[in-house]
């Protein structure tokens, strides 16, 4: 750490992805006396150009590496002596997990184990696992008074959600068996800047801007509970610092919308015709409705989301309009060449 004393040293895994990068920006901005180390493999979903604005920040270090690489992870913990670990790194797209479950099990379960083993060996104040509402399965469309609480049984539908649930159980087991200090957060669907354009909202924005068809699965009646990404970051910050050891916290803002409503909102904002909507074959095992009851997180930690969906979606659309090159590079595949171009010749010099 080159002789500088930081109040806290925080490992953020998956920080080159959507939520992780937003969390890196949030933490560097909010805690100028913290060191933030991002460990990210830069898979297809990781984009180092997203982190470009903070690469030269002396409080930030980027390390390219795999959370399942035990030697690399152990050496990093030995060198950095982290106080906090926030594990965002994951394979995160449900459709990909249906195509090829293997890498989901490897990264999401075994990667979490490797990080927790290193956390045990070197001692951390808190290991925080970023989980998802998908571990609870789904709710019926016709019972709108039902919500997921932290006590709702785990009941997964996709290889993705099963891998996240397995990781959650392992995290709880490390707490009970090895006394590893942990917390788990289970959040609803996020949206906002830097989301990879394979997920519903950025996919629809980027395709609508090019007048391409908008593929809606089934009848578009599935309901998701949308949360602006910065509200997720503030919740994790509170849980990390003030959450109780061993506890699970639900995060969500009661912003339920059908997929069709979301797509129509995007079309309206972009002044594009509804004729772009194309109904396509449904996702296998498609969850009907997610809806989070966040009252424990509000009651115990005072967390409140601040962005309503109607405002957040406008901000998000504006971001995609203002940052066209970010997602166009992804669609062209150019971003995958970015690391090699920018850092290939200075491998090891990214600290």
- Among residues 49, 156, 189, 250, the one that binds ligand NAD under rule CB under 6 A: 189
Segment contacting ligand NAD by CB under 6 A, of 10-18, 210-218, 257-265, 300-308: 10-18
Q: Give the one entry of ligand NAD, ligand TDX, none that residue 222 binds, where binding means its C-beta sits below a cut-off of 5 to 8 angstroms depending on kind.
A: ligand TDX
294 binds ligand NAD (CB under 6 A): no
Contacts of 288 (CB under 8 A, 6+ apart): 138, 139, 140, 141, 221, 222, 223
**308 — alpha (psi -120 to 50), left (phi > 0) or beta?**
beta
Cα separations in angstroms, 273 against 141, 208, 276, 315:
27, 9, 6, 21
Rg (CA), the chain: 20
Has 160 been annotated as catalytic? yes
Has 133 been annotated as catalytic? yes
92 binds ligand NAD (CB under 6 A): yes
49 binds ligand TDX (CB under 6 A): no
Interatomic CA distance for residues 131 and 39, integer angstroms: 18
Site residues (CB under 6 A) for ligand TDX, limited to 115-174 = 132, 134
Site residues (CB under 6 A) for ligand NAD, limited to 31-90 = 39-43, 45-46, 66-68, 88-90
- Letters for 127-166 (x = contact with ligand NAD by CB under 6 A, - = none) are ---x-x-------------------------------x--
Contact 107, 90 (CB under 8 A): yes
Q: Give the one entry of ligand NAD, ligand TDX, none that residue 202 binds, where binding means its C-beta sits below a cut-off of 5 to 8 angstroms depending on kind.
A: none
Backbone angles phi, psi at 249, to 5 degrees: -125, 125
Long-range contacts of 336-341 (CB under 8 A, 24+ apart): 336/44, 338/47, 338/48, 338/49, 339/42, 339/48, 339/64
Interatomic CA distance for residues 30 and 220, integer angstroms: 39
Q: Which of 40, 80, 134, 225 is catalytic?
A: 134
Interatomic CA distance for residues 351 and 340, integer angstroms: 16
94 binds ligand TDX (CB under 6 A): yes
Nearer to ligand NAD, 80 or 91 (CB): 91
- Among residues 10, 11, 12, 16, the one that binds ligand NAD under rule CB under 6 A: 16
User: Please, what is the minimum distance in Å from the beta carbon of residue 47 to ligand NAD?
Assistant: 7
What is residue 281's DSSP assignment?
A: P
Give the residue from 122, 98, 97 showing the smallest Cα distance to 107. 97
Catalytic residues: 133-134, 160
Q: Which residues bind ligand TDX (CB under 6 A)?
A: 92-94, 132, 134, 189, 199-200, 203, 215-217, 222, 224, 259, 283
Q: Which residues bind ligand NAD (CB under 6 A)?
A: 13-14, 16-20, 39-43, 45-46, 66-68, 88-92, 107, 111, 130, 132, 164, 187, 189-190, 196
């Amino acid at each position: 750490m080159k002789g500088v004393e930081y109040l806290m040293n925080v490992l953020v895994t998956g920080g080159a992805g959507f939520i992780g990068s937003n969390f890196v920006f949030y933490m560097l901005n909010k805690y100028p006396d913290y060191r933030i180390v991002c460990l990210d493999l830069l898979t297809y979903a990781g984009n180092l150009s997203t982190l470009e604005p903070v690469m030269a920040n002396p409080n930030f270090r980027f390390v390219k590496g795999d959370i399942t690489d035990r030697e690399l992870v152990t050496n990093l913990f030995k060198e950095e002596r982290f106080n906090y670990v926030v594990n965002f790194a994951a394979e995160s797209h449900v459709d990909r997990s249906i195509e090829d479950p293997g890498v989901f099990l490897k990264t999401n379960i075994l990667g979490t184990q490797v990080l927790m083993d290193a956390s045990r060996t070197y001692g951390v104040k808190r290991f925080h696992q970023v989980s998802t509402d998908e571990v609870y399965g789904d709710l019926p469309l016709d019972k709108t008074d039902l919500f997921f609480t932290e006590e709702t049984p785990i009941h997964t539908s996709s290889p993705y959600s099963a891998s996240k649930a397995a990781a959650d159980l392992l995290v709880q087991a490390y707490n009970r068996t090895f006394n590893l200090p942990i917390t788990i957060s289970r959040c609803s669907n996020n949206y906002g800047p830097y989301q990879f354009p394979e997920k519903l909202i950025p996919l629809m924005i980027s395709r609508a801007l090019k007048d391409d068809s908008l593929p809606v699965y089934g009848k578009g009646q599935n309901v998701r509970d949308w949360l602006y990404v910065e509200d997720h970051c503030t919740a994790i910050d509170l849980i990390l610092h003030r959450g109780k050891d061993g506890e699970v916290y639900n995060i969500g803002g009661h912003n339920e919308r059908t997929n069709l409503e979301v797509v129509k909102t995007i079309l309206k904002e972009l002044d594009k015709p509804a004729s772009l909507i194309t109904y396509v074959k449904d996702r296998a095992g498609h969850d009907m409705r997610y809806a989070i009851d966040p009252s424990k997180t509000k009651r115990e930690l005072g967390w409140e989301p601040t962005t309503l969906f109607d405002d957040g979606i406008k901000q998000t659309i504006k971001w995609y309009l203002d940052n066209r090159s970010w997602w166009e590079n992804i669609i062209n595949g150019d971003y995958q060449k970015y690391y090699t171009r920018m850092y290939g010749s200075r491998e090891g010099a990214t600290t």
